[in-house]
Amino acid sequence: MHSLWNDTEAATFGTDPLGQRVYTSRLLGRNPELVLHGGGNTSVKVAEKDYFGDDVEICYVKGSGWDLATIERAGFSPVRMDALLKMSRLPSMSDEDMVLQQRAAMTNPNAPAASIEAILHAILPFKFVDHSHANAISALTCSKDGEARTRELFGKRVLVLPYVMPGFVLARQVFEVLQGTDLRKEGIEGIVLLKHGLFTFADDAKSSYEKHIELVTLAEEFLARKAGTSPAAAPEAGKPDLMALARLRQIVSKTRGFPQIARLSTSDAALAYSSLPNIADCGARGPLTPDHSIRTKRIPAVLGDDHGVSIQKFADDYAAYFNRHASGQTMLDPAPRFAIWPGQGVVSFGDTLKDARIVADIAESTAATVALAERTGGWNPLTEKEIFDIEYWDLEQAKLRKGPARKVHQGKVALVTGCAAGIGFAIAESLAEQGAQVVGLDIDKDIPSIMAKIGAIGIVVNLTEDQPVQDAIDFTVREFGGIDIVVSNAGIFPKNDNLDAMAQGDWDRTISINLTSHQKLMNKVIPYVKQGVDGSIIFVGSRNFKAPGPGASAYSCSKAALTQLCRVAALELAPWKIRVNIVHPDAVFDTKLWTPEALAKSAARYNMTVEEYKTKNLMKVEIRSKDIGNMVSAMAGPLFAKVTGAQIPVDGGNDRVI
Ligand code: ZN
């Protein structure tokens, strides 16, 4: 591991202590081997004048909710040193009180809450303090002789402390040690908290950071020597069994109580880990640091031949673990946050893609570190009870409860066709706004960038072609774990010709896109929707099927047949509790088909103003793409949980339909 310090870059952060603190915090955060996703914390002590001009000593500590990799000045909480030192002298203090008093001691009440390690930062008698959960420190200390080898490696350079709960208990432990130890006089450069992480400190930002890098590098080199030759190359990633992945996601979502995004990682580290001969044993021992267990639970599920049985066993074991240690707490859901699929890789789960990715990163780093620890002394992490105390710690529970309310489609995966513009785009947008992970298929070559605008994935596909459609469906399952919502929308409106004048090609093309492509999509996607969560299929029809017009035979027939396809699908899929419905929009003019000129021409044909023409329905209301988008999103959600085979007109009322 090398220092990333760069004088020129450092200067851009400002030469004042807080500016330098921001810079080296980001350097720590830049290295995933040191901290991951909000892990680790840093501080700087500064003498300032307060609002009234009085001198005050402030400890700027990393605020909760900020990530070291991207932290800014505003991410540090200014806490009065005198209050923190006073707290450190109390023989005991509940963590709730500690958090409250830390907030009361902040000179800016609008700053984020200070890290729960603020007291510990305050009592270390150096200006800068850096704390990480480095993988190498975990691998070094989470082994049977972890303490002995840590002492042997670092000698008198670091203080080695046994594991205790983070928060007040840890601050108090360090406080007591400092009563008999002068860190400066004894030349102590850091503190290793066994099975937790490393603290380094100095009076300038660069030294504190570089000591951190130096000590972690010593641990890395020690482990490399112990590990000897590098392990056998990771096995080749085979073709993943996507149906098994979708089924696994369905089972885990049911166990969790909410749909989950699932991501299969087949990186070298994930494959090597999942292929360890003793994976069932060492996968079930514990996490790298207490911090990780909040995201990943204590252990992952290790999959056997029958994934349903494996997840049930995980849930049963989780309940037993809870019952062994609980004293009045309420049990959290018993679903795994990641699963080891022997020989196939690691599957991570989350409410959102972001959550699943965070778990995947932690799982990846766990995989590499555990594999290394196994080769250098045996993986021996925190005990079950120690993890329980963290998992059911009030402060951690509060952190998790703080998240925003769940969106209607959170954790669901939606496939939408024909969504580059107009109604299709509005549908994709409404589903994404309600939390669905959307994949949009369209022949428009700009679909990737169009979908990116709403946080969705766009794939260029000609829906009348078989293999590209299959590939897009497989990609969706591979990336997100399954498919729950399908909106079959793609369609064209051919030029108006009466039957005796119509070119055969126009008819054939209309039927091919407006009808047959939908049938082909169903043929390929239904097997996955059957393995989805609360499956829902929605077709986009048209008012034309009930109220056709002259010259629109191909369009009207295709939409009538599509309606019949929907009804048959509803009958076929009811036993799987998959809902199949159709929406019939009419006169939606905010689409790319309708230019202002075309609109004016059509209005003139009816002898109407454009405004009258746009609201040419019983209720005299304008129908917008977004109205259809919101309706389809509602149809995919719980409001329509018990509705199937329904035809919903969104047309402002039409006497030929009613
Ligand atoms: Zn920590």
**CA neighbours closer than 13 Å in the CB half-sphere of residue 313:** 15
Structure tokens, 602: 């059509």
Position 256 pLDDT exceeds 80:
yes
Give residue 608's pLDDT: 92
**Class level of CATH domain 413-588+623-650:** alpha beta
The residue ranges of DSSP E strands in 289-383, in sequence order, are: 301-302, 338-341, 345-350
Give residue 231's pLDDT: 59
Using pLDDT thresholds of 50, 70 and 90, give the confidence band for residue 403.
low
Distance 147 CA to ligand 1 centre (A): 18
pLDDT tens sequence across 8-51: 999 999 989 999 999 999 999 999 888 877 678 999 999 999 88
Amino acid at the residue 192: V
- Cα-based distances in Å from 191 to 122, 156, 174, 218, 551: 14, 11, 9, 14, 82
559 is catalytic: yes
Lowest mean per-residue pLDDT among 317-321, 335-339, 592-596: 592-596
pLDDT tens sequence across 519-543: 999 999 999 999 999 999 999 999 9
Distance 213 CA to ligand 1 centre (A): 16
Mean of the pLDDT values across residues 327-354? 91
Distance 119 CA to ligand 1 centre (A): 13
Q: What is the largest CA-CA distance in the chain?
A: 102
Could you give the CA distance from residue 66 to residue 43 in angstroms, rounded to a whole number? 13
Could you give the CA distance from residue 354 to residue 263 in angstroms, rounded to a whole number? 11
pLDDT tens sequence across 301-333: 999 999 999 999 999 999 999 999 998 888 889
Please check whether residue 459 is in contact with residue 440, taking contact to mean a CB–CB distance below 8 angstroms: yes
Distance 114 CA to ligand 1 centre (A): 13
Distance 132 CA to ligand 1 centre (A): 6
Could you give the CA distance from residue 114 to residue 86 in angstroms, rounded to a whole number? 16
Using pLDDT thresholds of 50, 70 and 90, give the confidence band for residue 493.
confident
Distance 197 CA to ligand 1 centre (A): 6
Distance 38 CA to ligand 1 centre (A): 10
Position 230 pLDDT exceeds 80:
no
pLDDT tens sequence across 257-311: 999 999 999 888 888 888 888 888 777 787 877 778 888 888 999 999 999 999 9
Mean of the pLDDT values across residues 403-432? 93
φ/ψ of residue 417, rounded to 5: -105, 150
Distance 41 CA to ligand 1 centre (A): 7
Query: What is the 3 state secondary structure string of 31-79?
Result: CCCCCCCCCCEEEEEEEEECCCCCEEEEEEEEECCCCHHHCCHHHEEEE
Q: Report the chain's mean pLDDT, rounded to a whole number.
A: 91
Express as a percent the part of the chain with pLDDT over 70.
97
**CA neighbours closer than 13 Å in the CB half-sphere of residue 603:** 17
Using pLDDT thresholds of 50, 70 and 90, give the confidence band for residue 210.
very high
Marked catalytic residue, from 163, 555, 613, 614: 555
pLDDT tens sequence across 171-204: 999 999 999 888 899 999 999 999 999 999 999 9
Position 645 pLDDT exceeds 90:
yes
Distance 104 CA to ligand 1 centre (A): 23
Give residue 316's pLDDT: 96
pLDDT tens sequence across 106-158: 999 999 999 889 999 999 999 999 999 998 998 889 888 889 999 999 999 99
Distance 84 CA to ligand 1 centre (A): 18
Could you give the CA distance from residue 412 to residue 292 in angstroms, rounded to a whole number? 25
CATH number listed for the domain at residues 242-401: 3.40.225.10
CATH number listed for the domain at residues 7-227: 3.40.225.10
In this prediction the pTM is 0.89
Marked catalytic residue, from 559, 592, 606, 642: 559
Give residue 271's pLDDT: 86
Position 399 pLDDT exceeds 80:
no
For ion ligand 1, residues whose CB falls within 5 Å: 197
Could you give the CA distance from residue 266 to residue 282 in angstroms, rounded to a whole number? 19
Could you give the CA distance from residue 377 to residue 385 in angstroms, rounded to a whole number? 23
Structure tokens, 247: 């089924």
Structure tokens, 249: 């996601």
51 is catalytic: no
Distance 133 CA to ligand 1 centre (A): 6
Mean of the pLDDT values across residues 617-627? 95
